[in-house]
Amino acid sequence: MPTWDADLYLRFAEERTRPCRELAARVMIDAPRRVIDLGCGPGNSTQVVAERWPAAEVIGLDNSAAMIAVAREAQPERTWVQADVAEWATSTDQPPFDIVFSNAALQWVDDHASLFPRLVEKLVPRGALAVQLPSNWNAPAHQAARDLASSPEWRDTFPRGSVREWHVEEPTFYCDLLAGQVSKLDLWETEYFQVMPSAEAIVEWYRGTGLRPYLDRLSDDARRESFLAAYLEQIHQRYPTRRDGSVAFPFRRLFIVAYR
């Protein structure tokens, strides 16, 4: 389980929150009573949910104490729960929800084949499961981390299978999985053409998310700095710097809205 740093994560708040707004806008439910935001992080997605459905009771759930603390401080009026999504999905002790929402979090939770049907079961009839997942698992930035981890210098630190990366399936997987359980399925992908100010900014972006499982395996700051320097070199090679010094960083995301 990677550690989380809310400040670092929120350094790219606009880019990280935009898909969340686009997901919320596509959920065709006007007056939900109860909504839960799974993997709510520092509460940025929960805020979007609360603005989209101001009359709803909105609960934020996350298993990181650090993230929940930041969320609670920023939005003390809401209910925050520190819990694991997979465990919550199997619990049976609460009334159903009109919307189960999750932005950029379920890629950290294993076994989507079991998880997604359980999340649908948490809904009232015609309620919606609304999920956004980063689907750029094979992007050069991810391949760079894998290649680095298996290089002669780092492979003793990262034996095969020791890093638990993001986990996202192909769109057809979710389509086939949910087709028999839901009345309507709205599934799409968007590739955001993000322009970053520098290659360093891409490293900064992943230092707050995708690189966490790698950095958590390194025992001290010097090793972490050395890994990040080698990673930056890889990013320079794989993401060419444009004439104005900026770097194009395309980022594909998968959206799923499933109505029970």
Tell me the window of 39-47, 119-127, 192-200, 242-250 that interacts with ligand SAM (CB under 6 A): 39-47
CB of 40 to ligand SAM, least distance (A): 5
**Contact residue for ligand SAM among 97, 108, 174, 231 (CB under 6 A):** 108
Tell me the window of 41-49, 140-148, 168-176, 221-229 that interacts with ligand SAM (CB under 6 A): 41-49
DSSP string, the chain: -----HHHHGGGHHHHHHHHHHHHHH---SS-SEEEEET-TTTHHHHHHHHHSTTSEEEEEES-HHHHHHHHHH-TTSEEEE--HHHHHH---S--EEEEEEES-GGGSS-HHHHHHHHHHTEEEEEEEEEEEE--TTSHHHHHHHHHHTSTTTTTTS-TT-S-------HHHHHHHHHTT-SEEEEEEEEEEEEES-HHHHHHHHHTTTTHHHHTT--SHHHHHHHHHHHHHHHHHHSPBPTTS-EEEEEEEEEEEEE-
- For 221, counting Cβ atoms within 10 Å of its Cβ (0-12 exposed, 13-18 middle, 19+ buried), the class is exposed
Instruction: Establish if 32 lies at the interface with ligand SAM (CB under 6 A).
Output: no
Which lies closer to ligand SAM via its Cβ, residue 101 or residue 154? 101
Which lies closer to ligand SAM via its Cβ, residue 62 or residue 204? 62
Tell me the window of 35-43, 92-100, 170-178, 243-251 that interacts with ligand SAM (CB under 6 A): 35-43
Residues from 169 through 208 that contact ligand SAM (CB under 6 A): none
Instruction: Establish if 255 lies at the interface with ligand SAM (CB under 6 A).
Output: no
Instruction: Establish if 104 lies at the interface with ligand SAM (CB under 6 A).
Output: yes
Instruction: Establish if 136 lies at the interface with ligand SAM (CB under 6 A).
Output: no
Which lies closer to ligand SAM via its Cβ, residue 130 or residue 148? 130
Which lies closer to ligand SAM via its Cβ, residue 27 or residue 154? 27
Q: Which among 26, 20, 7, 12 is positioned nearest to 47, based on CA atoms? A: 20
The one-letter code for the residue type at 117 is P
Tell me the window of 25-33, 60-68, 145-153, 156-164 that interacts with ligand SAM (CB under 6 A): 60-68
Tell me the window of 49-57, 62-70, 139-147, 226-234 that interacts with ligand SAM (CB under 6 A): 62-70
Residues from 73 through 102 that contact ligand SAM (CB under 6 A): 84-86
Residues that bind ligand SAM in the complex, under the rule CB under 6 A: 4, 16, 20, 39-41, 44-45, 62-64, 67, 84-86, 103-105, 108-109, 209
